[in-house]
Amino acid sequence: METIYEFTLPKGYLDGSGELHRRGKMRLATAGDEISATRDPRVLSNPSYLTIVILSKVITEIEGVQSVSATLVEKLFTADLAYLQDMYQRINDIEPPTLTAVCPDCGKSFEVPLNFTGEG
């Protein structure tokens, strides 16, 4: 079973020196991740912050960045945040993430594993 998923952010994280970081990795969430996130003081004072805290726990790497924190996740462009939220939902779903594709020649439908790297 795959537990770490690579991704490529649509826009990328722009650090303080102007460098853009797009590639990263996200791991499957644990029950502990979700429980500890709900106890975080930032979430207790603002429940909409839950997404930020959970993503900061499960994003294990953003290429070229020393560590991923809630502060870093806050600085992502909204398109990247939406992308990561969608990825989180898909990889933590019961079924492995797939996409239904249709062959343009024969019209037959088939399941294709979802690729979050942005590559063909």
Buried-state track 76-103, b at ≥16 Cβ within 10 A, e below 16? beeebbebbeebbebbbeeeebeeeeee
* Count of C-beta atoms within a 10 Å radius of residue 120: 4
Question: Structure tokens of 117?
Answer: 């790297």
Q: Is 15 exposed, middle or buried (0-12, 13-18, 19+ CB in 10 A)?
A: middle
Digitized pLDDT (tens) for each residue of the chain, 120 residues in all: 789 999 999 999 999 999 999 999 999 999 999 999 999 999 999 999 999 999 999 999 999 999 999 999 999 999 999 999 999 999 998 665 667 888 888 988 877 766 565 555
Show me where the domains of the chain are located: 4-113
